[in-house]
Amino acid sequence: MKRKYTGTTMRVRLFMMLTLMLTVFSSCRDDYFYDDTLPEWLGASIYDYLQEEGKYTTYIRMIDDLKYTETLSLTGSKTLFVASDSAFTEFYKNNEWGVRKYEDFSLAQKKLILNFSLINNAYLIETLSNYYDGSTYHEGTAMRRPTTLAAIDSIAFEQGDKLSIGKHFDSRREQGMYLLKDATVSPTVYFTQKFLTRSGITNEDMDYISGAVFSGKKSREDGDVHVFDTKVIKRDIVCKNGYVHVLEKVLIPPVNMAVRIEMNPETKIFSKLLERFAAPYYDAAINSQYRQLYPNFTDSIFEKLYFSSKGGATALPSGLVAISTLLPFSPGWNSYSTTGSQAALPADMATMFVPTDAAMNEYFNSGVGELLKGRFGSWDSVPDNIIIPLLRRHMRPSLIESVPSRFSKIVDDENYAVPIEKSHVTGSYTGVNGQIFYTNKVYPPRDYISVYSPILLSENTKIMNWAIRISETSVDGTLFEFYKLYLNSLVSNYSVFIPTDEYFEHYVDPIAYGQDVPAVLKFKYVEETNSIMAYIHKYDKENDIAEAEPIDSISSRNYPNFIKNRLWDVLDSHIVIGNITSQKQYYVTKANDIIRIDGNESNMTVSGGRNLHMGTSSRVTRIFEQQNGKTYFIDNSIQPALRSLYTTLSSNPEYEAFFELLSNVPADYTMQIFSIQGVDQVVKFFNAYRYTVYAPTNAAIRDAYDSGRLRTWDEIDALTGTARTEAIEKMVRFLRYHFQDNAVFFGENINDQFQSATIKMNDAVTHWKTAKNKYYKLGVVGTANSMELTTEKNEKVQVTSLNNVVAKDYLFAKLPTTYKNVDGTGAVSGTAFNTSLISTSSSIVVHQVNNILTFED
């Protein structure tokens, strides 16, 4: 009579209690009944159960062929997922192996099916979702466990087009090789109700994971358990050496994500890109293990590894060259874990969103992808450093956080949203290391759609791209590329002006400009070392001419801080926050530099303060319209102003009277206007900002002297004691009222009030109703042809035709005179020029006005 086997929780608990009692009392009794006889309800062995049921003959045959009979007959601790003979009958009708009867199975295929269906240790369905990580017991959070399938059970000889299409396999393509797709354990993947509930994965999510949404299979119901996409139809069959769980169909062992993507005829483009980052590696341990099993084997076995931060390789097979373009994890790593530790293997697995070939072609031939096509012509020609952000964008570290119900929350590894929708998913595959969702959309990285994109993709913007990719370290030690993150932000709009490499030859160094030997830097990108060279040329600053031959050079490999400092100075002076429009001519850059735009987009030129002073400009050669602004390629770097406000005023006779007032504040008075810094002198109360200075005409100041509205410095110096101090203070406050926060430009429409640099110190009512201890204001009304100021006394003052003169006050880490000149001359104790650093700067626009500005009588 056939035994009946059940799997109730009560019997399992009785079994566990009995085992405990046997352990505790075995030393106390001499003749316990169950010492030699197990209880009948415990059942036979797994092997005996399969035999006695009569409907698992195919599995029995496979067990016998592989000499597992004894293993599954004796006591032990196993979990077996089995399929019935009827399931095999259906399997023979249609399967990817082409097996039509049992005799068609190869030995390797038998090993795959049997070993993959076995787990060491006995698990009820209920306990499958629990695991111990070595220090903590986790309940309801496991979805994967290692099987008994050994990596060396599936070593194939591959040759020609059977080998990976990646270039690192080309040297062995003709002769072929024995290739192990991954040397780590292949886990089984299961979805229990307990795990799904704890993880917040819905039945609809499971329908996408299992493919029910696409195949028309029955939707998942509460309580269902799946092993990969196969439903468990009978569970928790208790045997004396473990448990048996019955599957609704034969489970062909799934492969890892990389193998599946490579196998899929509809994802050849994505796979080809992925395979660039793989290579064969010789592993002595694997070869030794295999030869112990097969002593006559004399060839070599290689393992396929992907260039990745986790689970792969970080150096080429030679071991000599580190790889800079890494995937976030290896898509071929069978034992993937989110932390990299195998203790965490059960808790989660990866996810990849893989566009179909149709989606990849559509993207490449329309919209944003056209920029890639226009630059490179084909996917095959796109360089690795350009492809890697695209691949990384489609690879996510967690399935739990990437199920359809959480699509709206998915972000990439730079924390940018990935705009995937359920309607984009056209199919799915559950691999041993992760979930594949096939999509009809490509999700380009920010690098492809932002104003940074043309810089990244262009062949001749390598200098600026190098500068943008410089990494900084956050307070928590995380590396980040500040300028890439900045330019990739879609919150703001940018207008970015980029000098192409061939024109990056006239950077007038601000510190050298303030020394006895001025210099121009000519930057070059060095492909072999991914570095920047700055060649130093002596410079005639009066005629804006650099000598043809360099006198020295500075490499980013030896002096990275110097190169970074100068190139970031260039970057800041070439970025405008906002759009360039026909309504404005002057703009302020991120560096607070003032630039002027002339012409329209077909004949646009850009001029910085130095350009305006020398009568030069940079011509726009190409414009790219991106999602967060426009990128403008230009034929020379924009030259910011190098003349300070001090020099600008002192060198022009039109400002002579005003400059004399500013520069002759008595030395014994603490509130000076100028101080020695930067190129020569700077305004002491300026910060890293942009300012407007209103310079009265010489005649206006003379009239103020004549009318008694102003005292001369000579008259003030003649005073003594408190009277002199008060007169100095009054003069300085008067002068500071001519300095305005924010730069405004003649010729542009404006109607606003701005604060000056003078604080109101009383409660008197003024025209602009400025409160005590606040800065006095100036009203500014500008049109295309005029600019009028209204003071706190309600006096109207006009800007003259001498307007929009641009100056810049630099702040350096040290005075230029404390560094040696670029040719090595200068102070004996001076530090080398290549250690010099620009700290910050303020920009100024100067307008001449036809009267003095006053805020009180």
For residue range 529-556, list pLDDT tens digits in order.
999 999 999 999 999 999 999 999 999 9
Average pLDDT for 159-186: 93
Model confidence over 454-501: pLDDT tens digits?
Answer: 999 888 999 999 999 999 988 888 888 999 999 999 999 999 999 999
Q: Is the pLDDT of residue 60 over 90?
A: yes
CB 238 within 8 A of CB 5: yes
Q: Please state, in angstroms and rounded to a whole number, the distance separating the CA atoms of residues 620 and 636.
A: 9
C-alpha closest to that of 46 among 241, 209, 285, 313: 241
String of b and e for 116-137 (b: at least 16 CB within 10 Å)?
Answer: bbbbeebbbbbbbbbbebeeee
Q: Please state, in angstroms and rounded to a whole number, the distance separating the CA atoms of residues 16 and 22.
A: 10
Q: Please state, in angstroms and rounded to a whole number, the distance separating the CA atoms of residues 424 and 407.
A: 11
Model confidence over 570-625: pLDDT tens digits?
Answer: 999 999 999 999 889 999 999 999 999 999 988 999 999 999 999 999 999 999 99
**pLDDT value, residue 831:** 92
**pLDDT value, residue 23:** 32
Q: Is the pLDDT of residue 27 over 60?
A: no
Q: Please state, in angstroms and rounded to a whole number, the distance separating the CA atoms of residues 46 and 478.
A: 52
Mode of pairing for the β-strands spanning 531-540 and 545-546: antiparallel
CB 806 within 8 A of CB 845: yes
Confidence band, pLDDT 50/70/90 cuts, at residue 41: low
Model confidence over 388-438: pLDDT tens digits?
Answer: 999 999 999 999 999 999 999 999 988 899 999 999 999 999 999 999 999
Q: Is the pLDDT of residue 34 over 70?
A: no
Confidence band, pLDDT 50/70/90 cuts, at residue 341: confident
Average pLDDT for 683-698: 96
Confidence band, pLDDT 50/70/90 cuts, at residue 374: confident
Average pLDDT, the chain: 91
**pLDDT value, residue 10:** 37
Q: Is the pLDDT of residue 43 over 70?
A: no
Confidence band, pLDDT 50/70/90 cuts, at residue 368: confident
Q: Decide which of 27 and 39 is more confident.
A: 39
Q: Please state, in angstroms and rounded to a whole number, the distance separating the CA atoms of residues 117 and 123.
A: 13
**Tokens for 363?**
């993207």
Q: Please state, in angstroms and rounded to a whole number, the distance separating the CA atoms of residues 43 and 684.
A: 92
Model confidence over 74-104: pLDDT tens digits?
Answer: 878 999 999 999 999 999 999 999 999 999 9
Q: Is the pLDDT of residue 707 over 90?
A: yes
**pLDDT value, residue 440:** 98
Average pLDDT for 807-825: 92
Q: Please state, in angstroms and rounded to a whole number, the distance separating the CA atoms of residues 774 and 326.
A: 55
C-alpha closest to that of 567 among 596, 528, 605, 525: 525
C-alpha closest to that of 632 among 679, 664, 660, 600: 600
**pLDDT value, residue 42:** 61
Model confidence over 252-279: pLDDT tens digits?
Answer: 999 999 999 999 999 999 999 999 999 9
pTM of the model: 0.77
CB 688 within 8 A of CB 841: yes
Q: Please state, in angstroms and rounded to a whole number, the distance separating the CA atoms of residues 235 and 743.
A: 77
CB 740 within 8 A of CB 775: no
Model confidence over 720-740: pLDDT tens digits?
Answer: 999 999 999 999 999 999 999
Q: Is the pLDDT of residue 6 over 50?
A: no
Q: Please state, in angstroms and rounded to a whole number, the distance separating the CA atoms of residues 714 and 313.
A: 78
Model confidence over 419-433: pLDDT tens digits?
Answer: 999 999 999 999 999
Q: Is the pLDDT of residue 813 over 70?
A: yes
Look at the block and give the residue holding tokens 């393992």: 303
Angle at 232 between CA 199 and CA 428, to 5 degrees: 60
**pLDDT value, residue 660:** 97
**pLDDT value, residue 35:** 40
By CB atoms closer than 10 A (0-12, 13-18, 19+), residue 349 is buried
Model confidence over 629-661: pLDDT tens digits?
Answer: 999 999 999 999 999 999 999 999 999 999 999
